[in-house]
A and B are shown apart, each in its own frame.
Chain A
Amino acid sequence: MIVTGLKHEPMLCTLAAPKGHPITNQLLSELFLLLTAQILPQPSDPELTNGTLVDGSSPASASSTSALLSRLQVEENSEADAAELYASTETRDLFVTVDDPKKHVSTMETYITYRVSTKTTRIEFDLPEYCVRRRYQDFDWLRVKLEETQPTNLIPPLPEKFVMKGVVDRFSEEFVETRMKALDKFLKRVADHPVLSFNPHLNAFLTAKDLNKRQGLALLTKMGESVKHVAGGYKLRARPPEFNAMGEYLDTFSQKLGTIDRIAQRILREQSEYLTELREYASVYSSWAGSEDELQRPLEGVAGCVTTCCGALEDLSENMSQDFLPVLREYVLYTETMKNVLRKRDQSQAEYEGRLEAAVLRRQEDRTPMPLEVEKCQDKMECFNADLKADWERWQCNKRQDFKQLLIGMADKNINYYEKCQTAWESLVTVLQEKQTEDKTSETN
């Protein structure tokens, strides 16, 4: 889509709307307003943020400019103009980071805490900066609270809660590092969400010195375990096709992810066995070098190259298990969460349809007006639908970003591995060939 600005310079923008989705008037008007905001620079114009542009179908979500921005994301690496355009109207005002893991040993237990740093200009926060320490339990509490208070939204997943004590070392550097990255991602996703980021529990999590958690009976949602089944006698009439499509997509998607995970693990195993043999291979060259004169240096050279390749391979495998696999697994969890939300939406629809039917029947009998509850139910369902669609788009967008990064990252690491090997062998060839010409010239002299 090419937009001509006031100065008649074409600016290229890429809309995040998926192919096949109509570019709605809503979207167009949002875009227009954004661009006019750029030309008349008033980034903190209250009118903009109070959603004069949109109709009421998605109340909370679409109103803020940050929601707009997250929908109209810019292609990485390319179109610098567009990047500039959005940078100046960037209204992201909440930045969070999780880092600095520390081990705490008490008489009762040993655990890790992480530093959670916040920087913000939001008025909901008293101070512009915060720094607190949190442990996994606290993140879990936050997630549970978010699920409770924002049932219609997709809450990002946390890394696995339980690890088998014998199998995984909970305090190993790799485990802590991987977990920390996942927690950081979780928090960032919540902070970037236009609705969730305003949740008071998040505020408490980021600011309170001591989290006064009430781990109620209610819901200890165990990540990765399945669903709370929808109880209740309401039957769904017909699920709107877009939600059906979502459901199908999620099923196939999680299946594919599972396959990829299995393949990746198999590759890791094969690589590890290859590495073992490669090490022995290097040592044989070394021992051969011991019984040679002229060939000693070349053989040692080869042994050295092979050893370098071993090191590079180790790095590659480590990368795969620390960066690649965790993201895959996280998306499996994410998919499960999304499926859950879909189910809740179905429940909401079923409830509405049930009440509606009952009301219609009663109306036919005694002409009473449509009861308020039915309207409320309808509202609730429609809100849910809208929120879900918005979250779905956001999720899809994030997913595309994340996987692009992931796959390119994997490619880069592999390229890196081969480059290291190549460099090692090339320098060996140079050394050996030099010696050869030395010999040749001395021979002929």
Chain B
Amino acid sequence: MIMADSGSSEEVAVIGNTDITSTESENNIINTMVERGTSLLKKMEINVAEAEKRTGKNTVNMQETYTVYLIEIRPAESVTEGGTPAAPDTLWRRYSEFELLRTYLLVTYPFIIIPPLPEKRAEFVWHKLSADNLDPDFVERRRVGLENFLLRVASHHVLSNDKIFFLFLTEEKGWREAVLDTGFQDKVDSRLKSVSAMLRVKNPDKRFTALKQYSDELNTVVSQLLRVRARVADRLYGVYKVHGNYGRVFSEWSAIEREMGDGLQSAGHHMDTYAASIDDILEEEEHYADQLKEYLFYTDAVRSVCKKHELMQYELEMASQDLAYKKQQKEELVTGTVRVFSLKGMTSKLFGSETQEQRESRLSAIEQSIEEGVEAVMEKNTECRDFVSAAWEDIERFKEQKDKDLREALISYAIMQISMCKKVWPSTLFRTSFCFQYKH
């Protein structure tokens, strides 16, 4: 497992440590993020500590109930020797504010894979879980997800330096204005642009194509996994609960027996315990599902980056095409040949050719345009190259993070399964108590 001081030989002793709980495992992921040591995280500790229900009037002046989450900021070394930790700075945020922050980040850093938020509505639910946003279990899991989101942003070496993010954590009131003031909404690419880019790009970067494909595959397979997992949970719930029926009938049966009575009671009691244990087991498994969901939503972010790249590439190609066209026009003008059909060319043929002045003014206009075009292409090229290098750096970082996190998640899932097996039929305990109480 990941420890604070890496490289120590103590780690070897951790092999086979199956007693680690899944929350501990999750904490290990958080520890990794803190380790990365962004300057932000070196200064402060971030928690989403609580959730509370509020009622208020919404934008259409109707009463609504919503949940707010308490963000706590503490200075990093706040626990002094033998002293109590300093009181944190706190503010309340609701989910929609988190969404706003994220949209801002998406637009402002299109070359970064922006961490996802926990789901807006409960999906992939098995039957006992409620899909209600106000359900306390859902709220709790969302709280954890929001904290995770903040920590991921805070541990990203680019994102953690963003001013708006900092204000999100520190300025309760004025934040909304500050975000809107950045004018980020104007930078949002239109859907139409993205789609046409996707369809018409001529030289897509192979790496990005592969990445997009991988991301789509991952999205499909994780969705499928979450769906099947929910069905498995449902069925398992059924198996456990039906066993509970044994409890009552064994108890009734024990009433008519003399020697066997105690043994049967004990068996019945055990069945009840068994049947009841499934609730906690499945609740814990939701943790695992949440970890998978995070990466499911991450695929959307990856896709965004790929699409942005496509768009840039497309724009570059357009600019190059435009430049090539203009150059050709100049050539035609210079050599007097009309290779490309143009209305002007046609009309001048039909209505007489232009004067020398006209030609020269046109030529200089085109040359001007060509200059601009060359600059545009260079700009786009640089933009594109910068984008590609920045994006690819983040992609590599993401890949590593993904591999590490998911592996951790799988380990903690396995550990969960082990603890479930251990607790369910405490073998010797049941057997001996049954034998002992079962007299002839």
Contacts and interface: CB of A to CB of B under 8 A. Distances in A.
B231 A277 contact: yes
B421 interface: yes
Contacts of A418: 421-422, 424-425, 427
Interface in B233-251: 234-236, 238-239, 242-243, 245-246, 249
Contact of A407 (B217, B242, B267): B267
A411 B430 contact: yes
Contacts of B253: 252-253, 256, 260
Interface string A206-241: 000000000000000000000000000000000000
A415 B221 CA distance: 33
B256 interface: yes
A407 B11 CA distance: 44
Given A281-B232, A432-B414, A443-B6, A18 B259 contact: yes
Interface string A82-102: 000000000000000000000
B154 to A, nearest CB: 22
A263 B410 contact: no
Interface stretch (A163-171, A176-184, A420-428): A420-428
Given A400-B440, A433-B15, A252 B418 contact: no
Given A73-B440, A400-B260, A414-B425, A263 B245 contact: yes
Nearest to B409: A298
Contacts of A433: 1, 14-17, 411
A270 interface: yes
A125 interface: no
A441 B12 CA distance: 10
Interface residues of A, number: 68
A419 to B, nearest CB: 7
Given A284-B225, A295-B403, A430-B16, A256 B258 contact: no
Interface of B: 1-2, 6-7, 11-12, 14-18, 214, 217-218, 221-222, 224-225, 228-229, 231-232, 234-236, 238-239, 242-243, 245-246, 249, 252-253, 256, 258-260, 263, 267, 403, 406-407, 410-411, 413-415, 417-418, 421-422, 424-425, 427, 430-431, 434-435, 438-440
Given A260-B249, A426-B18, A444 B435 contact: no
B11 A437 contact: yes
A301 to B, nearest CB: 8
Contacts of B228: 277, 280-281, 284
Interface string A260-292: 100100110011011001101100110110010
A131 interface: no
**Most-contacted residue by chain A among B242, B256, B406, B440 (CB, 10 A):** B440
Contact of B440 (A16, A260, A278): A16
Contact of A253 (B17, B238, B256, B415): B256
Contacts of A441: 7, 11
A75 interface: yes
A397 B257 CA distance: 12
Contact of B232 (A277, A287, A295): A277
Interface in A64-83: 73, 75, 77
A273 B235 contact: yes
A137 interface: no
Contact of B421 (A260, A421, A440): A421
A175 interface: no
Contact of A288 (B222, B249, B413, B418): B222
Contact of B239 (A73, A274, A280): A274
A288 B263 contact: no
Interface string A313-327: 000000000000000
A85 B320 CA distance: 104
B267 A288 contact: no
Given A281-B232, A429-B418, A432-B410, 17 more contacts: A20-B258, A252-B253, A263-B246, A277-B228, A281-B229, A295-B406, A298-B410, A299-B410, A397-B440, A403-B260, A408-B435, A418-B425, A430-B15, A432-B414, A433-B17, A440-B7, A444-B6
27 contacts: A18-B258, A19-B258, A75-B439, A266-B242, A274-B232, A274-B236, A277-B228, A281-B228, A284-B224, A284-B225, A284-B228, A291-B217, A294-B403, A400-B260, A401-B440, A404-B438, A407-B263, A415-B431, A422-B421, A422-B422, A425-B414, A425-B418, A426-B16, A426-B418, A429-B414, A432-B410, A435-B407
Contacts, number: 177
Contacts of A150: none
B46 to A, nearest CB: 25
A434 interface: yes
Contacts of A267: 239, 242-243
B329 to A, nearest CB: 48
A271 B235 CA distance: 8
Contacts of B260: 400, 403-404
In order of increasing CB-CB distance, the 9 nearest A-B pairs are A274-B235, A422-B421, A444-B7, A294-B403, A415-B427, A418-B421, A256-B253, A288-B221, A270-B238
Contacts of B243: 267
Contacts of A285: 225
A222 to B, nearest CB: 28
A401 B12 CA distance: 50
Nearest to A264: B246
B249 A259 contact: yes
Nearest to A283: B228
Contacts of A422: 417-418, 421-422
A263 B221 CA distance: 36
Nearest to B427: A415
B183 to A, nearest CB: 40
B219 to A, nearest CB: 11
A278 B411 contact: no
Given A288-B222, A429-B414, A408 B431 contact: yes
B290 to A, nearest CB: 17
B407 A295 contact: yes
A430 B1 CA distance: 11
A73 B336 CA distance: 121
A411 B242 contact: no
A435 B410 CA distance: 13
A412 B438 CA distance: 16
A348 B89 CA distance: 92
A116 interface: no
A36 interface: no
B418 A263 contact: no
Given A270-B242, A288-B221, A411 B229 contact: no
Contacts of B236: 274
B62 to A, nearest CB: 42
B259 A19 contact: yes
A408 B436 CA distance: 12
B221 A284 contact: yes
Interface in A184-208: none
A293 B221 CA distance: 15
B246 A260 contact: yes
Contacts of B263: 404, 407
Contacts of B267: 407
A429 B18 contact: yes
A323 B410 CA distance: 36
A412 B434 CA distance: 12
Nearest to B403: A294
A411 B434 contact: yes
A436 interface: yes
A280 B406 CA distance: 20
Contacts of B221: 284, 287-288, 291
A298 B431 contact: no
Interface string A295-319: 1001101100100000000000000
A272 B215 CA distance: 34
A440 B15 CA distance: 13
B403 A434 contact: no
Contacts of B440: 14, 16, 73, 75, 397, 400-401
